[in-house]
Amino acid sequence: MPNFSGFERSLFSLRSVARKVKKGGWAIPSGWLCLLLALAMPAKAREGSMAQDTVPPWGYGYSDLLADLEHWKASPFVKVDSVGTSLQGRGIFMVTITEGDSQPRPRIFLHARTHPAEVQALQVAKAGIEFLIDSSEEARRIRRNHIVHFIPMYNPDGVELGYARLNADSIDLESNWDKPEIQPEVAVLRSLFDSLMHTESPVRVALNLHSDQFNCTRFFFFHDSGGTSRLYTDLEKTFVADVQGHFPGGIEPWFFVKSWTNAPGLQYPEGWWWTNYREEVMALTYEDSNCPNASEYEATAQALLLGSADFIARGGVYLQRAVEKRRRTWVTQKMVLESEARWLRQNRPVFSLDGKSASRDLGPLIYFTLPHPPENP
C-alpha cells in the first residue's frame, strides 16, 4: 500500500471524486457538492493523471510479476503468453487458465493495474489466479466450463516509472480508447479482444480491475440505460447480484455509483465493448477498496469469478427470456389499446351541445400512441 500523508490522501480523495464525475456523472447523495469540488480544482488535477504524482514504489513491481509467472506456469492448467509489449518494451503478460479438451466455452477476461498505484487490483487478479489453479471443486468447475484470462499488470512501464495513473508517454491508458492515435498498450488489448471475439469461445464477461479510495468500499461502475439499453441494465443488475451472492456484505449494490447517465463513455475499455458488442459482453469496471485496511482479496477474487460463472450459466437463456418478456409486454399493450380503440369506435357516445346524442361518426377523438416495438438485442 502507498503510504499517503494526510494531504496526499485528501488530494487523492478529491481526485477520485473528480474522476467519477468525469466518468459520466455520479448519482449518489451530495453529487452537486462533488461536482463543485471537482470544478474548483485545476483542470489537470481533475484529470487525475499527473505524470509526476508519484509516491513510489507502489509495491509489487515488474520483477515480482516475472517471478510469479514462473510459479504459475508450473500448473498444468496455466498458459502464459506475452500478448504484446509496452511502449518501453516490457512484456504485457496474459495468464490463461482452463482445463479439459478444446471444446468451445465462454471466456472470462480480467485485466488489472492500468493505474499503477492501484496495486489492490493486482492483488485481486493474483488471488484469482491462485484460486483457479487450486484443487477445490469450485475452481475445477470454473476451469472446465470456461477459459479465464488475466492480465495482472497492464501498464508495466507506469509501475516501473512510479507513475500513479500514466504510461511511459504520460497518457492515461484507461481513457485512451477512442483517441485517433491510441497508445501501444491500448492497441494490444483492443486487437486481443477482437481476435477472441472471433473465435468459437467468445468473451462473455470482461472486468477492468481498479481500486478507489472512496470510503474503503468495493463496487462496480454501473452503466445507466442513458448510455446503454434497458436490457443491458437488467443484465448488469443480475451480474452484480450474482457477484454479491458470493461475498455477502463485501460488495456494494449496483446503484452505488451510476455512470453513463446520458451517453456511453467511449474513451474507456467498456465504451469500446459497448460500441462493438453491446449486450453480448458484460464489460464493467470493478473498483476494489484502496485504503490502509484494504484486504480480503481472496474473497473478492472468488466472488468475481464465481459470480461471472453464475451469470454466464444464465447466459443465452436469460437474455432470450429478457427479450421475450419485453416483446410480450409490448404485444399485450398493443392488444389492449387496439381493443379499447375498437370499442370506442363502436360505442363512443357523441353529444351535441344540447346534450342529445348526435352522430357516431365524427372521427376519432383520441389518438393512440403505441409503444415502440422492442429493439433487436
Q: Closer to Zn ion at the Cβ: 115 or 258?
A: 115
**Are residues 156 and 90 in contact, defined by beta-carbon separation less than 8 angstroms?**
yes
Count the site residues for Zn ion by CB under 5 A: 3
- 167-226 binders of Zn ion (CB under 5 A): 210
CA distance 93 to 163: 20
- 50-89 binders of Zn ion (CB under 5 A): none
Output the smallest distance, CB 122 to Zn ion, in A: 11
Angle formed at CA 199 by CA 177 and CA 273, multiple of 5 degrees: 25
Nearest to 245 by CA among 308, 297, 322, 320: 308
Provide the H-helix boundaries in the chain.
6-22, 31-40, 43-47, 62-73, 119-132, 137-145, 156-161, 184-197, 230-244, 269-277, 297-347
Got the DSSP string for 273-316? Answer: HHHHHGGGSEEEEEEEE-STT---HHHHHHHHHHHHHHHHHHHH
Output the smallest distance, CB 270 to Zn ion, in A: 13
Nearest to 238 by CA among 261, 257, 254: 254
Window contacting Zn ion (CB under 5 A); options: 110-118, 130-138, 149-157, 176-184:
110-118
Three cell numbers at 205?
464477461
Output the smallest distance, CB 219 to Zn ion, in A: 13
CA distance 152 to 342: 63
Cα atoms found within 13 Å of the Cα of residue 377, Cβ hemisphere only: 20
Q: Closer to Zn ion at the Cβ: 210 or 246?
A: 210
CA distance 273 to 196: 12
Q: Closer to Zn ion at the Cβ: 107 or 210?
A: 210
Output the smallest distance, CB 69 to Zn ion, in A: 23
Q: Which residue is nearest to Zn ion (CB)?
A: 210
Output the smallest distance, CB 306 to Zn ion, in A: 24
Output the smallest distance, CB 118 to Zn ion, in A: 5
Cα atoms found within 13 Å of the Cα of residue 83, Cβ hemisphere only: 27
- 111-140 binders of Zn ion (CB under 5 A): 115, 118
CA distance 229 to 69: 39
Q: Closer to Zn ion at the Cβ: 146 or 223?
A: 223
Output the smallest distance, CB 199 to Zn ion, in A: 29
Window contacting Zn ion (CB under 5 A); options: 109-117, 263-271, 332-340, 363-371:
109-117
Amino acid residing at 339: S
Output the smallest distance, CB 48 to Zn ion, in A: 9
Q: Closer to Zn ion at the Cβ: 118 or 160?
A: 118
Output the smallest distance, CB 365 to Zn ion, in A: 58
Q: Closer to Zn ion at the Cβ: 98 or 155?
A: 155
Cα atoms found within 13 Å of the Cα of residue 352, Cβ hemisphere only: 6
Q: Closer to Zn ion at the Cβ: 145 or 285?
A: 285
Inter-CA distances, 152 with 82, 120, 174, 203, 247, Å = 12, 11, 15, 17, 22
Q: Closer to Zn ion at the Cβ: 116 or 184?
A: 116
DSSP β-bridge partners for residue 21: none
Q: Closer to Zn ion at the Cβ: 117 or 282?
A: 117
**Binding positions for Zn ion, rule: CB under 5 A:** 115, 118, 210
